Amino acid sequence: MTQRTLAIIKPDAVAKGVAGQILGRIEQGGFTILAAKLIHMSREQAAGFYIVHKARPFYASLCAFMTEGPCLPLVLEGDEAIQRWRDLMGATDPAKAAPGTIRRDFAASIEANAVHGSDSPESAAFEIPYFFAALEICPR
């Protein structure tokens, strides 16, 4: 089934200069990029995006990390895009991520882990319009 998912190349990866390599893996992975923009989130914008993690002990630190510099949200489309993008990202903790995954190759820690991906159709439905207006998404 064709799906859309919200991906983010996180501030650590943009700062390291590996956004282009990650975009290359996305394209090689057969995803179509429907939308992309570089943004520097405020604390309020990061807190709203990660509201599901409000009760987690790492919430404040995660929101601070996501505002350290610009990040690159993307809308990806493809067959089973939600799970396939999470497979390409690898496990949350790069030490546990499989060889060849983005987090294994580019992430420094469980927090500064290079990329984000929606974890369900419901979260994609919240996350895509969080960053992109309908006119910023280019269907193919």
The residues of the shown chain that bind Mg ion, judged by CB under 5 A, are: 119
User: Contact residues for ligand ATP (CB under 6 A)?
Assistant: 53, 58, 62, 92, 110-111, 113, 116-117, 119
CA-to-CA distance for 16 and 129, rounded, in angstroms? 27
Give the amino acid at 124.
Answer: A
| Closer by beta carbon to ligand ATP, 42 or else 61 | 61
Q: Is 99 exposed, middle or buried (0-12, 13-18, 19+ CB in 10 A)?
A: exposed
Set 10, 84, 103, 116: catalytic member: 116
Name which of Mg ion, ligand ATP, none residue 92 binds, using a CB cut-off of 5 to 8 Å depending on partner kind. ligand ATP
CB of 53 to Mg ion, least distance (A): 8
108 secondary structure, DSSP code: -
Q: Mind telling me the catalytic residues?
A: 116
